[in-house]
Structure 1
Amino acid sequence: MEYPELAARTRRFSYGSPRAVSVAADGSRVLFLRSSGPLDPVDRLFAFDVATGRERLIAEPAELLAGEAGDLPPEERALRERRRLSAGGIGSYATDPVARVATFTLGGQLFRADLAAGTVAEVSTAGPVIDPRPDPTGTKIAYVTGGALRVASTGTSSGAGPSDTLIAGEDGITWGLAEFIAAEEFGRFRGYWWAPDGQSLLAARVDESRVNRWTLHDPADPASNPTVVNYPYAGSPNAEVTLHLLDLDGGWVDVHWDREIYPYLVSVSWSDVGGPLITVLRRLQQHGLVLAVDPRTGETQVHAELADPRWVEPIPGTPAYLSDGRVLIGGELAHDGYDARCLFADGTLLTPPNLYVRRVCGRIGVPNAQHSGELLVEASEGEPSEQHLYRVTAHAGAPIVDAHRISTGSGWFTGFGGGETLVIGALGLDHSGAQWTVYRRDDEIGQLTNLAASPPYAPRPVLERVTDRRLPTGVLYPRNHVAGRRLPVLVDIYGGPGHQEVLSVRSRWLERQWWADAGFAVAVVDNRGTPGVAPSFEKVVHRRMADVVLGDQVDALRALADKHPDLDLSRVAIRGWSFGGWLSALAVLRRPDVYHAAVVGAPVTDWELYDTAYTERYLGLPSDGSDVYAHHSVLELAAEQPAGPDDARPMLLIHGLVDDNVVAAHTLRLSAALLASGRPHAMIPLTGATHMAAGGLSERLLRLELDFLRTSLG
């Protein structure tokens, strides 16, 4: 069995690998999800007891459902799509701070796990459950059903029986869930937060009555009803999002800020150190505020301002209170020659400018009023293809910058911490999958068992930086390549903001090695606009993505050919998905002298059809009177008559017909424009497929793509 079939059966060798790792705040246990083996798509909940160093199975979906699994509620399917989750079984879970209780759903049913006893019980609810979360005491569970926020109580030691109470609900209004823009573009996947004492909730109210409604329908199933989605496309109205403090006994306090000027609610945190902290942004995201909320009155006070003439890029894990009351904020250092993403505590710099901080992922140590313990931070230092873990001293009076790297070797490291327990996940080019190691006070306790299949080969990409912009690149050759044999080139790209492809991670190169073994030299380029290097490297694409991104791709390809003489630039194909699909189409339409064929997957062909927050962040508003949107549209390029046969490069278009992120209209309009101008192309509509093209679809497409490129390149 070859790579495409193996990858489809094993979900790209991820079945059986631990994911969704979390650590109890007191460090007593580690929780994670994992299936039973390399061919099993059903994830179960496990606990690793730090005291004993042993794993325990907590929740087995087959036993809990007894073969009666129901369909996922539409809201749960939408949430999984936003989070790019394609696993079966338990998709996600939530715990109280010290992880005594975990809650999760299966087929819309609510389950509560007692993690100390290892028992799981179903909790009766008013309807199919979305995003259940236990309160800090572990006795109550909030959840969303039918757009309403409810709280279920499992009973107390004083003898009170179970109950289920409506906290907030209105017809046509959603309570307690993140709206499309928050989940898709800002990484905020939740819409309510428990107070530290468990007596109230901070909840988002989402009114989508102003948002334009689009209809999605799969023509392959004409008997099915069309799905209506609220889609805020560029320049159109967004959902109206408000915040409210809700007492369990019916009390209600509105949170006040200028929502007309700052409509985007980007992040929310609430700890026992202070009240809620929220981050709000203007529509064009060039200015934002970190606001402290008074939970008694709902009034807000500006704690910090965030500003950038291009766009503000908050750091995940911030803002948050430190135990001494200072507020941790992520921001950029762009003066005195610095070009860095850093952490600050009440304006004091915590991380050195040589670090590119990516995320605050935990707290280590036992904090108190005088000592905030240490922050666990993911960051890059000089080499964007690698990410490492650092301990950052956060207590007042510490040296201005004190960051100590704790991950060793090369690769991509992620971490989670609580109390004196640290879990490190290691990815690299020298091993398959993630290796999860648990430490207690710097002593290794054990590892989380990984049951994933091993890939059939070990790719060895050549990673290097090219051009005067030092663009990160990677090149893969066939495993049987003989130097001096000229090879057609496949440029495999994404190229968009917020995402890197050139990583020191084996899984990123497995499919590319299959392409190389099929006879290509595979080239990968992270152009300017991608993260990991410096803020200026990312933000130079503001309002000119097409020119910068495509220019960098062309320059990097030529620089690689100078270093790798076996790359035949007379035969260059390009393939990509989503932003990469747009870039593939742009490449063959604007630079047919460089690129000779393209696989165009789920592309954004007209940016006025894409969502508000993403598009306006980089291109501004369509109504500003400029030609930025027209300049970035591939529809106008496709409609132009080719000057000659060498300008009409063939394209293979691929799109899921029920994609609610990049709707299929993008590809259908591109096909119509290509047809009208006589440009050669083929199209594969994916019936029933979303933007993820999950369930092995993307792997099964590989051979069709290969046949197309071989034919197109002659």
Structure 2
Amino acid sequence: MASQRPWAEMRQTLHQLRRSLSALSSRTPQDFSFRRLPDGQLRVYFLSARTGSENQLCYVDVAPDAASENAKLPWQQVFDPTFQCVRYGSRSSRAEQLQLERKRVVGCGITEYSLHRASGKFIFTAGNSVYHVTDDSSRGTVAFPYEIPSSRGQPRLNPTICPSNPDLMAYVEDGDIWVASTRTDVDVRLTFSHQEDEALSAGFPSYVMQEEFSRFVGFWWAPTSSDGVYRILYEEVDETHVEVLYLNTAQEGGEPEAIRYPRAGSTNASSALKLLEFRLDPAQGVTAVTRRHLHTPLASMFPWMEYLVRVGWLDEQFVHCQLLDRSQCRLDLVLVPVALFVSDEPVPGPPPSAAVQLLLSSQTDVWINVHDTFHVIPTSDPDQICFLWMDDSSGYTHLYLVTAQISRQPGPRATGQPPMTSKVPLTSGQWNVDNKHVWVSEKHGVVFFQGSRDTPVERHLYVTSFVQPGRVQQLTQPGFYHNALLNEDCTALVTVLSNLATPPSCQVWHVHAGGAGGDVQLVPAGLIMEPCSFEPPRWLPQLHKCRSAGGGESLYCMVYPPAGYVPGRRYPTVVNVYGGPQVQVVANTFKGYRNLRNHILAAEGYCVVCIDSRGSHNRGTKFEGHIKNRMGTVEIQDQVDALHQLSDLLGIIDLSRVAVQGWSYGGYLSLMALAQRPDVFKLAVPGAPVVSWGLYDTGYTERYMDLPCRNPCGYEAGSVLSYANQFPSEPNRLLIFHGLMDENVHFFHTQQLISALIRAGKPYQLQVYPNERHSLRALESSEHYELTLLNFLNNYL
């Protein structure tokens, strides 16, 4: 048992550790964008809490001939530092809070912005207000943000600048799309979906689309307006048949918070793709608004479709869509002609004869990981389309160059097999290409991407040729984990890099492409941020590799030795588990503020172990698909096997004093670990745990577990409730944490668990956070959680 320490003393130690780790991470630049100034300089914009705790919009300038690896580039703020507004930093609205939860955005101040590169105009939100500002600093002008007025007091979500006219912006307010002119300060409502039916909304995706498919916008400006007509493609979401759940609220006299949440096996929201058109009159007012819908809805053309997962413009003639079935084993990429959108006002005449064209169809017996890669490569043949694509058909995520025939002439709707003429792999092997970003230099015939070719615990930037495919060149320094971003013409690169022993740094590079098949050269242009000098704690984590049962698969692990570690002595150990799909915990990155709880435990004398068991991310479909249809029944064995191997290897783990703790899926596995292997795990500390997959949402659950009606045994075996009688009968072995307003894993999960434990006569402890959602965002809540966790471990481990 660890030495007992007074609560106040632990709190003081925690404050000191929090301050030191916060100082290392809060300055790290994020959310980069680029703009080439008239004098040829490259301006790199980013967000950072350089001073204080609030993010500011900053920039550095890079000369075209700058070449220095160690020169520090001076930071500037985009706008006047005296800028203040009444509501700046005020508490976000409920709608904004929920969207930040979906995006996993942390921090305060400016959390996102939209840039129009040609004009240097920005749109950003602060508090509950929307501002615009134009960066004129190259002309010696100090920029000052202006609030875009609104008398309605409603939050304005996803404000986005029109690509063809920076004076226009669109946003979603109270379930409908509005457009505003920053020149006239006048806004106009373009849709009336939500006004007419509370279950309908325009331009804003459903909960499942945001949470499980990472699509956070539901409207898309047309990139050009050659005929003077501005167009916005949008999704109308119908939640009429989606179950309404009510979240408890801690506000005195407050009404329960209603949320549309489709549980596994229940009815999802449905989507309809629609189109807005309008013009501007001489006074810049919005006029001639036309609302259009597809003559034949996508759901009728593709009756198997359940999810509209990706949407975008190909050109003024076509839009592209990715359609996914309910089991998430089939995805079709289609082109939809703009001519198929007909006016909501009936117009005499024959129906449109344009064709919806199927470009590509993917099918799997595991599940499809949706991605954002669809980049069209221009060709001289108007009846041919060539594009970059990404899929897992080889067992790993790789890039492909796909060529297909299309028709720009009117005709019947396309049916049958996609007209794909070739699919050429640009990458291959037993490693994954990162599915978030690719950057294409059409001039040089190359594509840049991130991936994990040599080791899954590092990420690097690579380049390959789509003119002469096959060769892959690594561009970033080995021994580090890189987050890279290139500018639009692939002439400049920013990378944030770190490893377990080195805090993040940020560097700018000039990119010199050598043409198809030629090497790409990176020339250092300066440092945006050098690594912070810090006294490394004695518990910096170390990477290790173990094997799954039978020696089949490598399992990567990370171990934080306890403070004051003495070789040959064994220590109480905490397994910090996640273990679920889409997440990789073990990586060669600096473990800063986001890993504060691991640092706290190590500082207090505990050995901390993290294991990426089979089912976790970035190891290919076989490794991740190990949990298909059997979540909760196979992960614990990998955790136990790796724990015992680490104990033998390091001689530091006391196997008689092991606790397991985690949040969300990690909370679920913490419960399963205590129920299934109480002989290994002495304590379990789950946070916001799933207890039954039948209570969780459709998009996530059915991807991995299929529909409940098709996998009843899997749902029963994967339910913590099925193991209630197997929990220990000794007190002080289970401590549960949960936010009362959790909109992701609802508190109902914990209620069901408690009821089952009471029926089984099993002891437990519960800590509720009345004002918290799925993440503990309030500093005082996080601190209370950490102290309660420490106190529990100190007393009983």
| TM-score with structure 1 setting the length | 0.90
- Worse-matched range after superposition: 450-459 or 526-535: 450-459
The residue type paired with residue 133 of structure 2 is A
Match among 260, 285, 293 for residue 230 of structure 1: 260
Q: How does 1:607-646 map to 2 (within 5 A)?
A: 607-624=693-710, 626-638=712-724, 640=725, 645=729
Query: Aligned-pair distance for 1:292?
Result: 1.9
Question: Structure 1 residues 56, 236: CA separation in 2 closer, same or farther (over 3 Å shift)?
Answer: same
Q: Are the aligned partners of 1:200 and 1:246 in contact in 2 as well (CA < 8 Å)?
A: yes
Residue aligning to 2:147: 122
Query: Aligned-pair distance for 1:614?
Result: 0.3
Query: Aligned-pair distance for 1:588?
Result: 0.4
Larger radius of gyration: 2
Query: Aligned-pair distance for 1:510?
Result: 5.2
Question: Structure 1 residues 655, 510: CA separation in 2 closer, same or farther (over 3 Å shift)?
Answer: closer
The percent identity for this pair of structures is: 28
Query: 2 CA distance for matches of 1:274 and 1:55?
Result: 43
Query: Aligned-pair distance for 1:174?
Result: 1.5
2:558 is the counterpart of 1:474: yes
Residue aligning to 1:503: 587
Residue 622 of structure 1 aligns to a residue whose secondary structure is coil
Q: Are the aligned partners of 1:463 and 1:475 in contact in 2 as well (CA < 8 Å)?
A: yes
Q: Are the aligned partners of 2:88 and 2:126 in contact in 1 as well (CA < 8 Å)?
A: no
- Deviation digits for residues 311-358 of structure 1, max 9, x if unmatched? 11133x312323445222111243xxxx32101111211113244111
Residue aligning to 1:594: 680
2:598 is the counterpart of 1:512: yes
Residue aligning to 1:385: 457
- Deviation digits for residues 415-470 of structure 1, max 9, x if unmatched? 11122121111121232235343535433223334798957626432312211211
- Worse-matched range after superposition: 602-611 or 692-701: 692-701
Q: Are the aligned partners of 1:125 and 1:152 in contact in 2 as well (CA < 8 Å)?
A: no
2:749 is the counterpart of 1:666: yes
Match among 73, 90, 95 for residue 93 of structure 2: 73
2:129 is the counterpart of 1:106: no
Residue 505 of structure 1 aligns to a residue whose secondary structure is coil
- Deviation digits for residues 349-371 of structure 1, max 9, x if unmatched? 11132441113524254x35xx5
Question: Structure 1 residues 332, 408: CA separation in 2 closer, same or farther (over 3 Å shift)?
Answer: same
Question: Structure 1 residues 61, 261: CA separation in 2 closer, same or farther (over 3 Å shift)?
Answer: farther
2:382 is the counterpart of 1:330: no
Residue aligning to 2:545: 465
Query: 2 CA distance for matches of 1:693 and 1:596?
Result: 26
The residue type paired with residue 331 of structure 1 is D
Q: How does 1:34-183 map to 2 (within 5 A)?
A: 34-37=48-51, 40-51=52-63, 54-59=74-79, 63-66=83-86, 71-96=91-116, 98=118, 100-117=120-137, 118-125=143-150, 127=152, 128-137=155-164, 138-155=166-183, 161=184, 163-170=186-193, 171=195, 172=198, 173-183=200-210
Match among 243, 251, 266 for residue 273 of structure 2: 243
Q: Are the aligned partners of 2:34 and 2:117 in contact in 1 as well (CA < 8 Å)?
A: no
The residue type paired with residue 448 of structure 2 is L
The residue type paired with residue 147 of structure 2 is E
| TM-score with structure 2 setting the length | 0.81
2:15 is the counterpart of 1:17: no
Query: 2 CA distance for matches of 1:82 and 1:452?
Result: 31
Residue 581 of structure 1 aligns to a residue whose secondary structure is helix
2:347 is the counterpart of 1:292: no
Query: Aligned-pair distance for 1:712?
Result: 2.4
Match among 765, 784, 787 for residue 700 of structure 1: 784
Query: Aligned-pair distance for 1:600?
Result: 0.7
Residue 627 of structure 1 aligns to a residue whose secondary structure is helix
- Worse-matched range after superposition: 51-60 or 571-580: 51-60
Residue aligning to 2:367: 311
2:312 is the counterpart of 1:269: yes
Question: Structure 1 residues 402, 64: CA separation in 2 closer, same or farther (over 3 Å shift)?
Answer: farther
Query: Aligned-pair distance for 1:69?
Result: 5.9
Q: Are the aligned partners of 2:21 and 2:596 in contact in 1 as well (CA < 8 Å)?
A: no
Q: Are the aligned partners of 1:641 and 1:678 in contact in 2 as well (CA < 8 Å)?
A: no
Query: 1 CA distance for matches of 2:639 and 2:151?
Result: 54
Question: Structure 1 residues 360, 499: CA separation in 2 closer, same or farther (over 3 Å shift)?
Answer: closer
Query: 1 CA distance for matches of 2:711 and 2:479?
Result: 48
The residue type paired with residue 675 of structure 2 is L
Q: How does 1:271-670 map to 2 (within 5 A)?
A: 275-298=318-341, 300-315=356-371, 317-324=372-379, 325-334=385-394, 339-346=395-402, 347-363=423-439, 365=441, 367-368=442-443, 373-394=445-466, 398-418=467-487, 419=489, 420-439=491-510, 441=512, 442-449=522-529, 457=537, 459-467=539-547, 468=551, 469-507=553-591, 511-624=597-710, 626-638=712-724, 640=725, 645=729, 650-670=733-753
The alignment's C-alpha RMSD in Å is 2.7
- Deviation digits for residues 579-628 of structure 1, max 9, x if unmatched? 00000000001111111111010000111111110001111111226221
Residue 410 of structure 1 aligns to a residue whose secondary structure is coil
Q: Are the aligned partners of 2:607 and 2:653 in contact in 1 as well (CA < 8 Å)?
A: yes
Question: Structure 1 residues 661, 519: CA separation in 2 closer, same or farther (over 3 Å shift)?
Answer: same
- Give 5+ residue unaligned stretches, structure 1: 156-160
Residue 650 of structure 1 aligns to a residue whose secondary structure is coil
The residue type paired with residue 289 of structure 1 is D
Query: 2 CA distance for matches of 1:69 and 1:595?
Result: 43
Query: Aligned-pair distance for 1:251?
Result: 2.9
Residue aligning to 2:235: 204
The residue type paired with residue 195 of structure 1 is A
The residue type paired with residue 197 of structure 1 is T
The residue type paired with residue 178 of structure 2 is R
Query: Aligned-pair distance for 1:269?
Result: 3.0
Q: Are the aligned partners of 1:656 and 1:693 in contact in 2 as well (CA < 8 Å)?
A: yes
- Worse-matched range after superposition: 515-524 or 599-608: 515-524
Q: How does 1:678-689 map to 2 (within 5 A)?
A: 678-689=761-772
- Deviation digits for residues 159-179 of structure 1, max 9, x if unmatched? xx5542222222222211121
Residue 530 of structure 1 aligns to a residue whose secondary structure is coil
Residue 397 of structure 2 aligns to a residue whose secondary structure is strand
Query: 1 CA distance for matches of 2:652 and 2:125?
Result: 53
Paired positions, count: 690
Query: 1 CA distance for matches of 2:541 and 2:212?
Result: 31
Question: Structure 1 residues 392, 659: CA separation in 2 closer, same or farther (over 3 Å shift)?
Answer: same
- Worse-matched range after superposition: 88-97 or 405-414: 88-97
- Worse-matched range after superposition: 128-137 or 622-631: 622-631
Query: Aligned-pair distance for 1:50?
Result: 3.3
